[in-house]
Amino acid sequence: MKRDYSFLDSNQDKLNIKNITKEEAEKLADEIRAFLVESLEMTGGHLASNLGVVELTLALHKVFDTPNDRIIWDVGHQSYVHKILTGRAKDFDTLRTPGGLSGFTKRSESEHDAYGTGHSSTSISAAIGFAEADRLQNKTSYTVAVLGDGAFTGGLVHEALNNIDKNLRLIIILNENEMSISKNIGAFSRHIAKMRATRGYLKTKSFTRTVLTHIPLIGKGLFRGIRRIKKGIKNAMYGSNYFEDIGLYYLGPADGNNFEAVENLLHEAIASGQSTVIHLKTTKGKGYAPAEEKPNQYHSVAPQGCTAKTNFSAATGETLTSLAAEDDKIVAITAAMADGCGLVPFAQSYPDRFFDVGIAEEHALIFAAGLSLGGMKPVVPIYSSFLQRGYDSILHDIALQHIPVVVPIDRASLSSGDGATHHGIYDISFLAGVPDITLYAPATYVSLARYIKEGLVATQPTFIRYPNSCEFLPKGYTQKNNLYYNNIEKPNGIIITYGSIVKEAERATKTLSEKDFSCGIILLEQLKPLDTKTILSVLPENCPIVFLEEGARAGGVGVMLYDAIRNDAKMQNRTYTTLAIDSFAEGVKGESLYKTCGISAEDVVNAFLTK
């Protein structure tokens, strides 16, 4: 039974909290937390991070006025409270479903989402762009970038910080919730931080600034001089910090779960008249005991009724851990995804051979290249959608030098929950043109282990792609080299495919059989280089081919295969149709992504029967 949220009225277009009191904010924060826990138990989603930013988000929406002012959430997985405050609470039952409420910020979803996100460390670059555009057009809007300390491990953040003009209407909020990036200077520091976040201190500071800067001729210079002296004394006693050293105004650290403190610091940042960093410390999972105690486990929760299964990610970690026991040259690298990529067992068993480089895919890959040339055997599991960031590293630093690095490509499939920013459908296309690499798509854990072992002794880069699922080889298939086939004796049609979409191929063959149309399936595991000799050897004569692909059409396996075999005698007088993805696969409400992309079982059936 759902709670009665007396303060949180989900039917409003936007909650008006401009005049909210501290007491009312505390009540609203409690209701929002209860609403998040209740909603995400049903839909799944990012829980702990959103529970931690409730007061911060309330303060932002009290001080600033979106969409005129812009709030850019790095990654965007912590924007649920922002969505609630901007009229989307009523849609939370559709969260992370095709055509429903996105799990990240999305420009097409709301005018209050200034910038679409999904990947980490992009917020400051985008925020600088907005702020510079405002400056050039003499606009008075403010741009606020909110990012966690984890995002600061991404190099893009530091490239952006290097590009900031200090005289912008720009505020960067560093939400520190896991690791410290500033040195601990004891009780006095905590006392100063608390004092600086009080209304009395900030009012006095504002009054002093106003009085000094209005003294004729010397006022502004006097104020700047006093500020330099103050900064010099502080730096001498406690040391400067990174942000001040690059010329930014710095406030904090302060309690990010204290609504009044955050509101006061936001007003101080505005009053400073310059680009400002506000350093806040928040508690992940705040207000929900299980999430506070184990924030990693509640970072993303599954929908009610879903149970965790052994999947390819876990199988990769288990395989590497087992192989590393016999080979001390094997090392594992992750870009802040040890849990997601199944590497926790390896990290626990071989901590000296495990490297978490933070959110830095480019560095992870080049680091692996160096390890390989230094005599080690590096394995770098990376999500397909994140591997996009490392393309130059793959092409220029690994493949061009023929360096043997093993790259398991995780989540290589459509992502119905995370949506377009996380679809793993482009890796084949951007790897297709890279010479002298091997690319596999195992259907079983046994195949996965075999390809990892082959990659560890190879003389060139090896890529192994798999979906976020368990193994998926249907029963009754025959294996020949690196492919499987079924029902290829004089069928009316043949489906060639790879990956877990073979389940749609199976559904299609069942429907076709009911229409007296016999259809066989060839399931590929080696995608580059294509083993055309084996494929042609099992390909039935004459019948039409439908190539079914859960990936981009341009540069995909379907296109590559046709180009490779179209002149063979077996292909003469035969139709060949490729069903693949030509869009960003944004999703349509009430429709499967397979159907939206034109790669469903029904599409396969139509492709055969309309010939």
Question: What integer pLDDT is reported at residue 350 of this predicted model?
Answer: 98
Question: What integer pLDDT is reported at residue 216 of this predicted model?
Answer: 72
Res. 427 pLDDT band, cuts 50 70 90: very high
Same domain, 368 and 430: yes
Structural domain ending residue among the three candidates 443, 465, 487:
465
**Complete DSSP assignment for 246-287:** TT-EEEEEEETT-HHHHHHHHHHHHHHTS-EEEEEE--TTTT
Q: What is the mean predicted confidence (pLDDT) over 554-570?
A: 97
Helix, strand or coil, per DSSP, at residue 27: helix
Same domain, 401 and 540: no
Question: What integer pLDDT is reported at residue 287 of this predicted model?
Answer: 85
Q: What is the mean predicted confidence (pLDDT) over 467-489?
A: 95
Q: Which of 49-53, 305-309, 330-334 has the lowest mean pLDDT?
A: 305-309
Domain assignment of residue 532, yes or no:
yes
Could you give the angle at the alpha carbon of 78 between the alpha carbons of 583 and 552, nearest 5°? 15
Question: What integer pLDDT is reported at residue 578 of this predicted model?
Answer: 98
Question: What integer pLDDT is reported at residue 588 of this predicted model?
Answer: 93
Domain assignment of residue 24, yes or no:
no
Q: What is the mean predicted confidence (pLDDT) over 533-544?
A: 96
Question: What integer pLDDT is reported at residue 609 of this predicted model?
Answer: 95
Mean pLDDT (the chain) is 90
* Domain of 574, in residue numbers: 478-609
User: Tokens representing 1?
Assistant: 């039974």
Domain assignment of residue 20, yes or no:
no
| 70: CATH | 3.40.50.970
Name residue 320's amino acid.
L
Same domain, 451 and 535: no
Same domain, 451 and 533: no
Question: What integer pLDDT is reported at residue 288 of this predicted model?
Answer: 83
Res. 595 pLDDT band, cuts 50 70 90: very high
Q: What is the mean predicted confidence (pLDDT) over 184-213?
A: 50
Domain assignment of residue 8, yes or no:
no
Same domain, 344 and 397: yes
Question: What integer pLDDT is reported at residue 292 of this predicted model?
Answer: 81
Same domain, 137 and 107: yes
- pLDDT over 50 at 192, yes or no: no
Question: What integer pLDDT is reported at residue 9 of this predicted model?
Answer: 64
Quote the percentage of the chain above a pLDDT of 90.
Answer: 78
Under 8 Å CB-to-CB from 197, ≥6 apart: which residues? 252, 254, 255, 258, 261, 262, 264, 265
- pLDDT over 80 at 301, yes or no: no
Question: What integer pLDDT is reported at residue 122 of this predicted model?
Answer: 96
Same domain, 450 and 407: yes
Structural domain ending residue among the three candidates 465, 490, 514:
465
Q: What is the pLDDT of residues 140-188, one digit of tens each?
A: 999 999 999 889 889 999 999 999 999 999 999 999 886 333 333 344 3
Under 8 Å CB-to-CB from 479, ≥6 apart: which residues? none
Same domain, 72 and 149: yes
- pLDDT over 80 at 520, yes or no: yes
Q: What is the pLDDT of residues 314-360, one digit of tens each?
A: 999 999 999 999 999 999 999 999 999 999 999 999 999 999 999 99
Dist CA 93 CA 333 (whole Å): 37
Question: What integer pLDDT is reported at residue 188 of this predicted model?
Answer: 32
Residue 422's nearest CA partner among 50, 112, 103 is 103
Same domain, 131 and 272: yes
Domain assignment of residue 276, yes or no:
yes
Domain assignment of residue 445, yes or no:
yes
Question: What integer pLDDT is reported at residue 191 of this predicted model?
Answer: 39
| 504: CATH | 3.40.50.920
Structural domain ending residue among the three candidates 395, 430, 465:
465
Instruction: Specify the number of domains making up the chain.
Output: 3
Residues taking part in catalysis: 284, 361, 389
Same domain, 165 and 273: yes
Give the orientation angle of helix 54-63 with respect to helix 259-272, to 10 degrees.
Answer: 40
- pLDDT over 90 at 443, yes or no: yes
Same domain, 458 and 484: no
Dist CA 339 CA 14 (whole Å): 37
Same domain, 320 and 358: yes
Q: What is the pLDDT of residues 97-116, one digit of tens each?
A: 999 999 999 999 999 999 99
Question: What integer pLDDT is reported at residue 488 of this predicted model?
Answer: 87
Domain assignment of residue 92, yes or no:
yes
Domain assignment of residue 224, yes or no:
no
